[in-house]
């Protein structure tokens, strides 16, 4: 039995609608590309007068800002990357489907939190607390990863009956009380350690013995706050890359005798490597271009220092602060345009590289699935 055909009278109208829709989509895509190109051309054109100003030391004024941008991005990525990738690996490969369907959207919604809100909380709540409890903060940074490893070791050594009651697939829930207890232990232990081993005042010890000044708003605060903002971006992309791995690969590895841990390291991570790399690169681009968190939590001091306890100023924060007061055509104006051009090129290159890697990942999946 043949399917009924549409009347010929409607075919030209449908074709016209399809062509109009295709034309609008194509025009929109070309318009976006032209807008990006126009922004790049405008920034490059506005930086050309720097060559005629005769100030050979003008570019050196951007060095502390570039260093501050790099320092803030590195601090944020050191905080965000292990947490985001660990969460992505667990939710994609180990978490139960029921728990994953509830927690994954909640984690992805964190990306909707405005940067100004994160910066406000970091500058007015987190920074004063860390200043008063510096030893506790540093101990927590070291103690929490160790606590997670300790929980895994104790679970492995526990009786089989207890492990059945606390399965890997629900570790995201039964680990919460354990980590809360470990935080309480660290907060209780830190003042004792500071009093008996560090002379009662860690900040004074750092200043007197190592010459490290402590600023209330510093790179440590920026790293924690901006890392919190970057985690959802890295997590979402890395989790999608891991979840899209063909199940036959993991099942085949385990059928050949590999454990789930061996299958993770030898099969899952190499296969999803391009997607994970793309996620980390996009997260780095977000960290470099972030403005409000750095503006509100860094102290905005243009220092050329590697200390995590001193302030910084990034390129984006400098543009937000100084561009409204810069006179068009002046040295400051052109230097700020050069800073904007640097951020534009870095973000463009990072996103382009991430897209190239994502396309490579897609072709790999097509080959693994037997598709041309």
263-244-285 Cα angle (round to 5): 100
Listed residue (187, 216, 214, 223) closest to 124, CA to CA:
216
Q: How large is the average pLDDT for residues 310-323? A: 87
Check whether 371 has a pLDDT greater than 50.
no
pLDDT-derived band at 57, boundaries 50, 70, 90: low
Task: Report the distance separating Cα 75 and Cα 81, nearest Å.
Answer: 10
Place of tokens 């030898």: 266
Task: Report the distance separating Cα 69 and Cα 76, nearest Å.
Answer: 11
C-alpha 248, offset from chain centre: 30
Task: Report the distance separating Cα 237 and Cα 108, nearest Å.
Answer: 10
**From 12-21, 179-188, 303-312, the region with the lowest mean pLDDT:** 12-21
Q: What is the chain's mean pLDDT, rounded?
A: 83
Q: What integer pLDDT is reported at residue 363 of this predicted model?
A: 74
- Are the C-beta atoms of 92 and 242 separated by less than 8 Å? yes
Q: Considering the chain, what percentage of its residues have pLDDT values greater than 90?
A: 15
pLDDT-derived band at 320, boundaries 50, 70, 90: confident
- Are the C-beta atoms of 221 and 308 separated by less than 8 Å? no
**CATH class of the 64-133+206-368 domain in this structure:** mainly alpha
281-287-227 Cα angle (round to 5): 100
Q: How large is the average pLDDT for residues 38-66? A: 76
Which residues have C-beta within 8 Å of that of residue 210, sequence separation ≥ 6?
Answer: none
Check whether 1 has a pLDDT greater than 50.
no
Task: Report the distance separating Cα 62 and Cα 214, nearest Å.
Answer: 24
Q: Give how far Cα 207 sits from Cα of 56, 204, 293, 307, Å.
A: 36, 5, 27, 12
| Token pair in block for residue 18 | 């399809």
Check whether 164 has a pLDDT greater than 60.
yes
Task: List alpha helices for the chain, DSSP H.
Answer: 11-47, 63-93, 97-109, 115-121, 127-132, 134-157, 160-165, 171-197, 202-210, 219-243, 247-255, 260-263, 269-289, 292-297, 315-322, 331-368
Check whether 295 has a pLDDT greater than 60.
yes
Check whether 370 has a pLDDT greater than 60.
no
Beta bridge partners of 299: 312
Q: Give how far Cα 1 sits from Cα of 4, 5, 112, 266, Å.
A: 9, 12, 52, 52
Long-range contacts (CB closer than 8 Å, 24 or more residues apart) made by 50-57: 50/331, 50/334, 50/335, 50/338, 53/331, 53/334, 55/331
Q: What integer pLDDT is reported at residue 227 of this predicted model?
A: 92
208-125-313 Cα angle (round to 5): 65
pLDDT-derived band at 230, boundaries 50, 70, 90: very high
Q: What integer pLDDT is reported at residue 126 of this predicted model?
A: 92
Check whether 130 has a pLDDT greater than 50.
yes
What is the three-class DSSP state of 330? coil
Task: Report the distance separating Cα 58 and Cα 53, nearest Å.
Answer: 9
Q: How large is the average pLDDT for residues 87-101? A: 84
Place of tokens 């007068």: 49
- pTM exceeds 0.95, yes or no: no
Q: How large is the average pLDDT for residues 17-22? A: 85
Q: What integer pLDDT is reported at residue 372 of this predicted model?
A: 45
**From 74-88, 149-163, 189-203, the region with the lowest mean pLDDT:** 149-163
Q: How large is the average pLDDT for residues 191-197? A: 86
**From 62-71, 165-174, 200-209, 268-277, the region with the lowest mean pLDDT:** 165-174
φ and ψ at 312, to 5 degrees? -155, 170
- Residue 10 burial (CB < 10 Å; 0-12/13-18/19+)? exposed
Buried b (16+ CB within 10 A) or exposed e, 83-122: bbbebbbbbbbbbeeeebeebbeebeeeeeeebeebbbbb
Check whether 198 has a pLDDT greater than 60.
yes
What is the three-class DSSP state of 299? strand
Listed residue (288, 275, 244) closest to 354, CA to CA:
275
Check whether 24 has a pLDDT greater than 50.
yes
**From 2-11, 24-33, 238-247, 298-307, the region with the lowest mean pLDDT:** 2-11
Check whether 222 has a pLDDT greater than 90.
yes
């Amino acid at each position: 039995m043949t399917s009924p055909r549409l009347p010929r009278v409607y075919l030209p109208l449908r074709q016209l609608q399809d062509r109009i829709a295709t034309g609008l989509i194509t025009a929109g895509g070309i318009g976006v590309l032209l807008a990006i190109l126009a922004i790049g051309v405008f920034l490059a054109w506005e930086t050309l007068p720097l060559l005629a100003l005769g100030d050979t030391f003008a570019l050196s004024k951007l060095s502390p800002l570039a260093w501050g941008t790099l320092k803030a991005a590195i601090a944020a990525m050191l905080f965000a990357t292990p947490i985001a990738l660990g969460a992505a690996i667990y939710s994609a490969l180990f978490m139960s489907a029921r728990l994953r369907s509830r927690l994954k959207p909640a984690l992805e919604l964190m990306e909707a939190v405005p940067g100004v809100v994160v910066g406000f909380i970091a500058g007015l709540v987190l920074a004063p607390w860390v200043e008063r409890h510096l030893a506790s903060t540093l101990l927590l940074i070291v103690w929490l990863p160790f606590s997670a490893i300790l929980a895994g070791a104790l679970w492995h050594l526990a009786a089989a009956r207890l492990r059945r009651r606390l399965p890997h697939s629900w570790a995201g829930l039964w680990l919460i009380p354990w980590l809360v207890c470990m935080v309480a232990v660290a907060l209780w232990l830190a003042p004792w350690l500071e009093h008996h081993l560090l002379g009662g005042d860690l900040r004074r010890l750092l200043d007197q013995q190592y010459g490290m000044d402590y600023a209330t708003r510093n790179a440590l605060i920026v790293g924690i706050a901006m890392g919190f903002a970057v985690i959802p971006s890295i997590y979402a992309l890395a989790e999608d890359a891991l979840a899209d791995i063909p199940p036959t690969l993991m099942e085949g590895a385990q059928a050949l005798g590999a454990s789930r841990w061996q299958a993770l390291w030898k099969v899952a991570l190499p296969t999803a490597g391009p997607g994970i790399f793309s996620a980390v690169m996009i997260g780095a681009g977000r960290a470099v271009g972030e403005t409000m968190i750095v503006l509100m939590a860094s102290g905005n001091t243009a220092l050329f220092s590697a200390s995590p306890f001193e302030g910084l100023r990034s390129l984006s924060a400098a543009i937000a602060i100084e561009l409204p007061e810069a006179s068009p055509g002046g040295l400051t104006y052109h230097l700020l345009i050069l800073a904007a051009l640097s951020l534009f090129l870095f973000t463009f290159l990072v996103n382009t590289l991430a897209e190239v890697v994502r396309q490579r990942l897609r072709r790999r999946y097509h080959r693994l699935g037997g598709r041309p």
